Amino acid sequence: AKGNGGNCYYVYNKALSEKQMENLILINELRQALENNELIMFYQPIIDTVKGQVVGMEALLRWNKPEQGFISPDKFIPLAEETGLIIPIGEWVLKSVCIQNKRWIDRGYNAKRVFVNISARQFQQKDFFEKIITILNETGLDPNYLGLEITETTVVQDIKYTIEILNKLKDIGVSISIDDFGTGYSSFNYLKDMKVDGLKIDRSFIGETNNNCRKRAIAKTIILLAHQLNLTVTAEGVETKEQLEFLKENDCDYVQGYYYSKPISADEFEKFLD
Ligand code: C2E
Ligand code: CA
Ligand code: CA
Ligand code: CA
């Protein structure tokens, strides 16, 4: 039995180092990817449930890896966060999204707000606000057409600092949403002190599986909470007409999901512009 135990330990150990090796290779390839233009932004429409119109979009990162195709950010963002590579990647993301949105506006399309996902590590940089200002100045994008999506994890790291930065962003017109709302361990106590504009209901409360009643109760409660606090609320992961109807009935302001469109390239996204 002891021999077996030893064996198991050996196997476990080996598996772990293989994973570490894989991650090491991946992180080096990711570093290259930034230089080789393998990163690209996709866009997903955000729809006003009352007007039925596209009012904005979320920018989502894709890695077009040679011979492998598109890799999901879930596969490489956590690693980029651990290694700090998220800082240069995040800057590249912000810049290319602002350039793209400015280009659409300059070409005469009605301006819409584009939302960018911001990692905790990125937001907590001491010069984050200055970096936003620089990018807005360099690209010429009106701050009223930029939004940032941050998570509860980001918010609770250094509440005083977060409040200061959120106030400054709000003052210049950048909108802030709390992403994946309801999935974290943090209480929503911070909401009373923080000037955010909207909450995004995580798609785990929208999607159809089991526990539907309970999930819907949570979604409903988040909508009520948001409205009591004068915040807008967006539901993500809306895939069916039934989900949309439920959200409409409960006064959810905006929806996003495969029911309308998957995230698509900037060129393809033009079909949603007017
Ligand atoms: P997220 O911010 O919660 O983004 C929503 C995710 O749900 C996206 O996955 C989107 O493609 C997916 N989604 C949208 N509608 C539906 C639907 O109807 N059904 C289903 N099943 N999925 C839907 P994606 O693009 O793979 O991104 C995963 C996560 O990676 C994002 O979650 C976000 O946390 C992170 N991420 C993506 N782009 C960036 C970025 O530029 N910077 C940072 N820091 N993180 C990013
Ligand atoms: Ca998001
Ligand atoms: Ca989300
Ligand atoms: Ca997420």
Q: Tens-digit pLDDT profile for the chain (274 aa)?
A: 444 444 445 555 666 688 888 888 999 999 999 999 999 999 999 999 999 999 999 999 999 999 999 999 999 999 999 999 999 999 999 999 999 999 999 999 999 999 999 999 999 999 999 999 999 999 999 999 999 999 998 988 889 999 999 999 999 999 999 999 988 877 788 888 888 999 999 999 998 766 688 899 999 999 999 999 999 999 999 999 999 999 999 999 999 999 999 999 999 999 999 9
Q: Which atom, in ligand 1's list, is nearest to the CA of 151?
A: 34
Return the best residue to mutate from 46, 57, 60, 203 for the ligand 1 pocket (most ligand atoms within 8 A of CB).
60
Q: What is the pTM of this model?
A: 0.93
Adjacent-strand bridge partners of 259 = none
Q: Which atom, in ligand 1's list, is nearest to the CA of 80?
A: 44
Residues 210/214/219/221 CA torsion (nearest 10 deg) = 180
- As a whole number of angstroms, the distance between CA 19 and CA 11 comes to 12
Contact assessment for residue 203 and residue 241, using Cβ atoms and an 8 Å cutoff: no
ipTM over 0.90: yes
Q: Which atom, in ligand 1's list, is nearest to the CA of 200?
A: 3
How far, in Å, from the CA of 100 to the mean position of ligand 1?
Answer: 19
179 lines ligand 1 (CB under 6 A): yes
Helices 73-83 and 86-106 cross at an angle (nearest 10°) of 120
Q: Could you tell me which of 192, 144, 175 has the C-alpha nearest to residue 254?
A: 175
Return the best residue to mutate from 117, 149, 176, 208 for the ligand 1 pocket (most ligand atoms within 8 A of CB).
117
DSSP string, 184-224: SSS-GGGGGT----EEEE-GGGTS-SS-HHHHHHHHHHHHH
